[in-house]
Structure formats: C-alpha cells, structure tokens
Structure 1
Amino acid sequence: MKKIVSLIICIVLTVSLFSLKVCAETEKGYVYSVIGNQALIEDVEDNLTGEITVPETLGGFPVVSILDYAFRESKVESIKLPDSITFIGEGAFINCEKLEKINLPLGVKEIKKDTFSQCFSLKEVNFSGTVTLIGGNAFFNCSALTQIDLIGVNDIEFSAFRNCKKLSDVTFSDSLETIGESAFFGCSSLKEFSIPSSVNYIGSDVFGGCSALEKIKVNESNKIFSSVDDVLYNEDVTTLYWYPSGKTDKSFVMPKTVEKVVWGAFEGCKNLKSITVNFIGTERNGEFSTGFASIFGDKMPTNIETVILKDIVSVPGNTFYDCSKVKKIVLPKTVTEIGEYAFAGCSSLTSINVPENVKTIGDGAFKNCTSLKKITLPKGIEEGNNVFEGCENIKVIFGEETTEKDEKNESQQSVDNSSSGLETNSSETENEPDPKPVPDNQKPEKKNKIYKILIIVLLSITASALIARTVIILKKKVPTD
C-alpha cells in the first residue's frame, strides 16, 4: 500500500513540474523556456550580432536567467543585460570571440565556471558590486582585458583569469578570502599585486607566468601572509611562497627564518643572477628528493650563475644534476659529504670550493663538468668511482693549493685526470720526494744542441773519408803512360 501511495505522489509531482514548463519558444532571436512564469534564455540565433540589449521580458514573462552555454560562439560585440536577470550559467558566453563589453546586473551573485572563457576581444566588464564568486576559468584567455574591479568578491577559483595577457590593474576589497590555483597564471602585464588583510588562502602557481610582476604587497593586518622586500611569505616568514618573476634585483639572500620554499617559487625569475639559500630542495628538515632546481619549477632559468649555500652538512646525490648554466657554487665549511652525481652535468661550472671537512665524494660527483679546470680536495678524502669522468684536463690538487711557481713546475701535488676516477691518492702524493733540480748542462735544450753538433761533425768526417777513398780508387783505375 505504501509503495502505491509513493508512486502516486511521484506521478503527481512530475505532472506538476511539467505543467510549470512551456516548450521552448523563439522571440527576437532568443530561444527561451518558461518555468514558474519566468523566462530562461536557452540559446540565441545566429542573426544576433553587433550591439544587443537583452529584453526584460520574453513571451510576456520576465527574463531571469541565462542558462549554460546560451550565447556560446555568438557573434555579438556588446551586451546589455536587464536588471531582472539573477542567474548566468556555466559557459554562458564561452567563445564569443567578438564580445568586447558586458554589464552584470545587481541580482547576479556568481560568475560561473567558463562564463567568459575564450572571449578574446573582451575589454570591459562592469561588475555590480554584488558578485561574490568568480568561477574556475571564468575569464580564461580573455587576452584583451586590461582592468578588472573585484570589489565585493569573496572567492576567486582556479585559473579564473589565466592568460589574461593584457591585465595590468586588479582591484580587491577586504572581502576577498581565497585565490585559487593558477588564478592569475600568465597575466604577463601584471606588475604589482596587492593582497588584502582578509585573504586566508592562496593556491599554487597563482602568479606563474606573470613575467612582468615586480612586487607582491600584503596588507600588514593579514594574519596568514606577509611580504618582505616584495616577496610573498607566510606570516612568520618561515615559508617562501613566491618570488616575483619580474623583480629587477640581481641577487637574493634567503631570510634565516625560512624553513620551506614552495615548489617553483622562483619560476621565471629572469633578472636573478645570484641566489643564497639555507638548505637544498624545498624543505630544510624534509627528506631530500627534488634537487636544487625544484625551487625554480620545471626548469632552472639560464640566468642563475652563482649559488651560495649556507648551514648545510651534506650535498645529497643529484642535487645540482644537469644545472648546466651555473658557473659558481659556494659551499659552507659545515659540509662533510658530497653525494653521487651531486654536480654531474654542470657543464658551465668553473668555480667550486670543497671545504676541508668533506670526508667523502660519491661516484661521478663532478661528471661532465667540462668547464671545471681545477679543484682542490682535502687530504685523505675518500672518493668514489669516476668522480671527474668527462672533465678533460682538470687539475686536482690535494691539500693546500699550490703556488703559481709550483704549478708551472708541475708539482707532484697536482694530478691530471681524464675519464676515470682520481689516479693519485693523498698518501701516494705525500710519500713521493720532491723532484731534484736539473743541472743547466743537462737540460733538454742544451742536450739537443750538443747532439746536433756531434751529428754534423760525424757527417763531415764520414763525407771526407768517402771522398778520399773515391780519389784513391780513381787513381788506381787510370792507366799510366
């Protein structure tokens, strides 16, 4: 009995709902339906072009909604919406490539996902001040948009303004709380970004590809984030979130308080030439796995020439693997171990110090460091296999560096190394006697001259003897009268 009653109720409700809906109608180029005495725009005809004003009523019913993808790929250039509209669906204006201008009525509270995505010509969006949410990809690839006023907005979702390449002016209010992942990625004209006191969440890669960004400012009242020298940190400066890609400084010294660097925080920092960091990878006390280049994202920039490390005790394996543009690396005295292939592939590296406290160097640590011509290692160091493989004509010095004179005389403290591991260890070097001075009369150049003179004399004597013998023979053969 209960099942029958439930079935009857479902049928009644279904019939009631259908009675509220009128089949889709077309008027003035708008395809709409009516639900509950309200018109909802579902689609538009191709003859709607240029500047249009959406009517307040269709079929005598107030227009309250623009449904998902209603204007997709439309050729309209300017749209004026009536105040009766309170809802705009996902992708409502997606791929309207000619759309340049639109207003948002007071009743609209949210801009849904993909609403204006790929509107390449969109230059002006007039917000009502009542919009609280900007959905994911809402303005994706709106490459003509130069300015946006987000007063009243609480949340900006992922990639909301991604690739808005001309966007240079963004205004927020203290109502803003969250900025989603990659929200402003690729906004390459954005030079300064101000974060209100109310923001409590910033997603990853928000400023990726913002190549002109020089300054990130944070309101001093913000309890989550802070800005030091225009670099974005958490409130107590223990986590570094983002270094502005367009910042003009040539060098950066990490604050001592920093314990963590977000992956890719230094992505695209095109002007930076020297960087000083307190640890390797993304966390001071975390398990090492990502390598030094991880703080630069997918690829280390070619402009970084000098890396200065502080407060570390080891250089783990593969730390600087294939950092092919780094020319100079400075290690602190606290380092005791260099892991395998730690600097392998640093083909531009010309200068590196190995502190006296280093006890071991792993296999292939300097493999293919083709620009490295000289390096000093501590005496008694334990080296792995093929430490300098591929380093042509490198000079490895054990202990104190030799003087210029000693180098010219090829002191036995030096060792020439080619493709294999170190050919000489420290104990062999220490036991070999110093080379004795060579007397002047035995020097190679003088010996060569003496040999040449002797050869000439011998040749002269031999020639004279041959001539004399020939004369004697001829005399014997000539008949006498």
Structure 2
Amino acid sequence: MEKQRKIKVLAIAALIITILGLTVAFAALSQTLTINGAATLDAAKWGIKFENLSDGKTSGDAIINDTAVIADDLVTINNIDVSLSTPGDSVTYTVDLVNEGTINAEIYSIETPTLTEEQERYLNFIVTYDDGQEVKQGDILEQSSRKNITIKIEFDKDITDTDLPKEAQEISLSYGLTFVQTDKTSSTQPGTPSEDVKAMFNWEGDTVITSLTDYGIEEVKANNGHLVIPEGVTEIKGTSMEEVQKTGTLTTGFSPIAIGKIDISSGISEEILGNPEINIIKSVSFPSTLKTIGELAFAYCANLTSISLSSNIKEIGDYAFGMTQISGELIIPDNVTTIGDYAFSSTSITSLKLGNNVKIIGGYTFENCKNLTGELIIPDSVTTIGDYAFRGCGLTGELVIPNSVTTIGDYAFNSTSITSLKLGNNVKIIGDCTFENCKNLTGELIIPDSVTSIGNSAFSSTSITSLKLGHNVKEIGNSAFSSCNNLEGELIIPDSVTSIGDYAFRSTSITSLKLGNSVEKIGISAFQSCDLTGELIIPDSVTTIGISAFSSTPITSLKLGHNVKEIGTSAFAACNNLEGELYIPDSVTVIGDSAFTATAVNKITSISISKNTKYGYSFNGRPTPTIRD
C-alpha cells in the first residue's frame, strides 16, 4: 500500500445545447477536460495527460464550428464547438488518455451529465473506449500505458414526434472523472475501494463512513482540500443535534466544531470541538452509490466552498452543510425527498434548483443565504415548507407556491425581495411572520379557499395593494396585515372568519369594510388609523370590540350589532367624522374609557344607552347620553 496517494480530476464541462422547435442545435459547445498538474509520490511519478486528439467526425447534418485542441499543459482540451440539427446527427472525438507515470491510476468516481426526463429522450452523451465499452468507475489506467477514448454527442435518431422539443432552450451539462493513484491492476474488481482508500475513513460495516482518519486528513491536505467519498459508500453518518447537546460530544461526520449544549438560536455557550484539522476541506465529490448525508456531516466547515451532489442521494440531514461557504449554483438531485433543518443555512449559494421529488424543505434550511437571488421554482412535489426556510434570502420576482404544499411555516419567506405571490389551492396554514417585511411584494394578494389560518404578522409591512380572502379562513392573526400602507379599496371579511387579531389591519389604506356574519372578536387596534369612510356595520355575531379597534378612522356613521357585550377603551376615539345618532344596544355591558372621545364636537347629535351599561368617561361630553330603561 502506498504511504500517500494523490487525486486528479478530469472534467468535461459547459456543454451548451440550443434547441429550436423540432430540431436540436448544439451551439457554442465548449468542453474543458482538466487534470490539475502533476505530482510525485515518493519515487513514483504521477502523470496523466491527453495526446492525439482527433479533428472530430460528423454524421448527418452535424457541423464542427471550431478546431478542438489540446492546450499547452497537455491536460486540457479546448474549443469543442459543434452544431446538430436533426435526429441522428452526431459528432465524435477520439483522444488518448495517457499515464506516463510509474504508478497505476484508477477512475475513482464519475459525475455524469444531469439531464431532465425530457432531455434524456433526445440527447445521448457517451464516453467509451475504442472497443465500445463504456468508461466506468473502477477502471484502471496502468502505469506507462494509454487508452483511446471516444466522446460522442448525439441527437437520438430513434426519437418520436412526441418527444421532440417544443420550444427553443439552452442546456448546460458537465461530465467529470476523478482519478486516484492506486496499487491495483486492471484485474482488480471495480467498485471496491482499495485498502488505502478505506484507510482514509472510519467505517460502520462496508458501506457507511463516520469520519476521516488522521491518514485521511493528510490525504485531503495533499489533494488541496478536495475530499472524495469513495464509490460503494451509501451513507455518511452524522450526529444528531439532540445527541450533541445531551452528551457534549461530536463523534461522527466531518464537521470541525459542533454547536454546544444549547440551541443555536440562543448563541454558543460552550463550544464542543470536533477535529479542527477537518477545516482543510474545500470541496467534496460524492459517489453515485451515496443515498444519505447525515446530520451535522459537514456543518461549520469554514473553508468548504464547493460540492456536487450525486444523483442517487435521497436524504440530506439536519445541519448537513450549514454554516459553510458553499457558493455558486446548488442543484438538489431529483431523488432527494427530504432536506433537513439548517441543511444549507448561512451558506453563500447564489442560485438554487430543487429536484422534482423533494417533499419536505425543513426549518431554517436556506435561512440567511443572503446571496441566493433570482426567482425560486418550487417543484409540485413539495408538501411542507418549514419555519424560517428561506428567511433573509435575496429571492426576487414571482414566487409560486404549488398546489402540493399544505403548510408554509413561520418566517418561511420573511424579509425576502419577492415581488408577487401566487398561493397554491391546497395551502391550509400560513404561519406567523411568513411573508413579513417582504417590502417589494406588491399587487393583489389572493388567499385561496383552502387556507384556514393566517398567522400573526404573516403579511405585515408588505406593499400589497389589494386583498381577497378565501371563504374558509377562520382566524386572522395579530398584525397579519398591519402596516401594509398600500393596501386600499374595499376589504371583505368572509363569513368563515370568527376572530380578527390585534393590530390585524392597523395603518392600512382600506376605505371600505364589510365584516362577515361569523366574526365574534375584533382585536386591539385591529383597524386603527385605517382610511375607512362611510357607515361601519358591526354584525350581530360580534361580542367584543377591542381597545382602539377603530380609533383614528374617518367613518361617518356606526351601527352596532345586537350581541356586542364589550366596547374597549378608545375603540372609536378620534373618529372625527362620526356623526348623527349613536345607538348602544342593550347587549353592551361595559364601554371602556375614552371609547368615543376626541370625536368632532356637535357631530354626534344623540347617544342612546341602556341603564345596565357601565360607561364612565367613555363619551367625554359628546353629548350627554339618554338612558333607556
């Protein structure tokens, strides 16, 4: 076994495909194959390079637009630029892959192009040896040898009319090979890690790794911070946050530091050190066999900037990559169903593509990813968006919540920069502060009939201009729409609503209000400082009108329902346009102090009130009430 082992990466990148109607054109096709330099291992020379690149062979109507060349460093191929226009068109290149060193090299992992289901029906991208065998993981390029490989890009000739692309589009693909030095020969069974690869990790069984060994840390250092998880690994085991807080230890994963014995939201009171040397990890390649990335697997790896998730991953655990420096585009593969709490929290990702089978986006998953901008497309597989999931992200444009989503958690999109919102028809609960401080959110907001509860401050301090509430909303939370200064026109509270929370519509610009026949409670300052005009009708269902509920509104007349029991302090104070007769129904038992003070002098012509009603300083001389028996 070698004392030390080097890793080299071969990449075919930036495959640009333009699709036009019923034809396919591969325009501005640029592929870069790169192996980062040369190194030595004791007396063993490590050298892999390209030789003898062909000019390219076309079939059908394919066109080669530029001359592909091997760069001066002999490890890079540039300028592959071809166009394909009809089914059956293809372009084929051949090149020698040469190992001029004195130690064998193994294909350690393969990153295959990520294609959509539609693209797989018309695009073939194949890399084979000259005998027609596909290049695969575990293949050996022995010392002082060469293998001729063929790169073929093909518009599938057997495509049916229904599978042809319907509109123009541009596609970017990539293909990568990672090589490691090895003492294996070509007769060694592929897919099984060599002994020195296995020695890099602590294992549970044959397919689960738990952490790096000291030897593994040195190998990652020697590879400039690049960590390669070997083929055959199905799970990277993590440590649950609950266990860390209970025991004060971090025993698995690749995180250099855990969070302490208290919740992250409260700050760190006691640091629990893992292995600080693991902070040398800068990038990670995952094998095609991997299915699970465990809790806290790479959390707090401060130098981790790049990952490429393999297509078979199903679950990404809590805190898996939280508080790292992962940047650029993050692609969640289609096989992933669950993304855990804090999984990518406070990273530097700039764009996000969610796979088509994600069901649960956990709490805080992408919270505080300030560089995450642009429109977010949520696939119609998602059912739950957790608390704080995207809080503080730079998301812009229209946000469409698909019909599959039933719950949007507290603070889920708080303080983002989205400009419009379309809620799916199966959302039942909108959590507290979900869209609060989305100051660029404007236009009409439609709450679908599926929604039963709108949480506290759910849409406060947004710029929506009109609101349509669904017919099954039962509860409107405290401050749900407060300080929506641009919300104007008529507001209709549907008959399903039983409670309007404190400050729910305070300081909005609504001019007309129709309260549904099931409202029982109108909360403190619920409509304070609104622009309400004309007659205000309180339905018979209402029993409580909260403190300052309608204060400082320009209503001109008031009709109170026959079941109102309590009118809160300052409920109608400073309603300067309130005039005419004011009739307090017999049901009212108490009117709070200053309930009608600071109204316009002499505009209220009479007040009629039951002898059983306690009213104290409620009217402040506007005029003396007439007491009924």
Fold match by TM threshold 0.5: yes
SS in 1 for 2:578: strand
Distance 2:560 2:476 in 1: 31
Distance 1:363 1:259, change over 3 A: closer
Matched, 1:146 2:350: yes
Matched, 1:72 2:282: no
Distance 1:140 1:269, change over 3 A: farther
1:33 match = 203
Distance 1:307 1:266, change over 3 A: farther
Alignment: residue pair count: 367
Distance 1:52 1:388, change over 3 A: same
Distance 1:87 1:232, change over 3 A: same
- Pick the aligned partner of 1:130 from 335, 347, 350: 335
Structure 2 stretches of 5 or more lacking a match?
A: 1-194, 239-251, 257-277, 429-441, 608-614
Shift in Å at residue 149 of structure 1?
Answer: 1.0
SS in 2 for 1:309: strand
Distance 2:469 2:232 in 1: 60
Distance 1:284 1:179, change over 3 A: same
Matched, 1:284 2:495: yes
Shift in Å at residue 104 of structure 1?
Answer: 1.1
Distance 1:202 1:253, change over 3 A: closer
1:194 match = 400
Distance 1:344 1:268 in 2: 16
Q: What are the superposed Cα offsets for residues 38-72 of structure 1, whole Å, 9 maximum, x if unpaired? A: 46242466765695333455xxx954432215111
1:154 partner amino acid: V
SS in 1 for 2:545: coil
- Pick the aligned partner of 1:52 from 216, 225, 235: 225
1:291 partner amino acid: G
- Pick the aligned partner of 2:514 from 301, 304, 310: 310
Distance 1:110 1:71 in 2: 17
1:367 partner amino acid: S
Verify the 8 A CA contact 2:558 2:582 in the aligned structure 1. no
Q: What are the superposed Cα offsets for residues 161-207 of structure 1, whole Å, 9 maximum, x if unpaired? A: 2333332246657562413332634144222223446x253333374
Verify the 8 A CA contact 2:331 2:355 in the aligned structure 1. no
Distance 1:329 1:355, change over 3 A: same
1:342 match = 545
Verify the 8 A CA contact 1:124 1:147 in the aligned structure 2. yes
SS in 2 for 1:345: coil
Q: Which has the higher strand share?
A: 2
Distance 1:320 1:35, change over 3 A: closer
Larger Rg: 1
Shift in Å at residue 330 of structure 1?
Answer: 4.7
1:277 partner amino acid: L
Shift in Å at residue 349 of structure 1?
Answer: 1.1
Verify the 8 A CA contact 1:115 1:139 in the aligned structure 2. yes
Distance 2:570 2:604 in 1: 19
Q: What TM-score comes out, normalization by structure 2 length?
A: 0.47
SS in 1 for 2:417: coil
Structure 1 stretches of 5 or more lacking a match?
A: 1-24, 402-416, 429-481
Shift in Å at residue 397 of structure 1?
Answer: 4.1
Matched, 1:213 2:418: yes
Q: What TM-score comes out, normalization by structure 1 length?
A: 0.59
Q: What are the superposed Cα offsets for residues 218-246 of structure 1, whole Å, 9 maximum, x if unpaired? A: 6xxx77469x9763544x57768698778
Q: Which has the higher helix share?
A: 1
Q: What are the superposed Cα offsets for residues 74-125 of structure 1, whole Å, 9 maximum, x if unpaired? A: 4233223344544321121112233221111233222122212222554443
Distance 1:258 1:278, change over 3 A: farther
Verify the 8 A CA contact 2:255 2:301 in the aligned structure 1. yes
CA RMSD of aligned residues (A): 4.7
SS in 2 for 1:40: strand
Distance 2:254 2:568 in 1: 60
SS in 1 for 2:349: coil
1:406 match = none
Q: How does 1:115-264 map to 2 (within 5 A)?
A: 115-142=320-347, 144-159=348-363, 160-169=365-374, 172=377, 176-182=381-387, 184-191=389-396, 192-196=398-402, 199-205=404-410, 207-217=412-422, 224=426, 231=445, 233-234=447-448, 248-249=463-464, 251-254=465-468, 257=471, 259-260=473-474, 263=477
Verify the 8 A CA contact 1:361 1:387 in the aligned structure 2. no
1:367 match = 570
Identity, % of aligned positions = 16
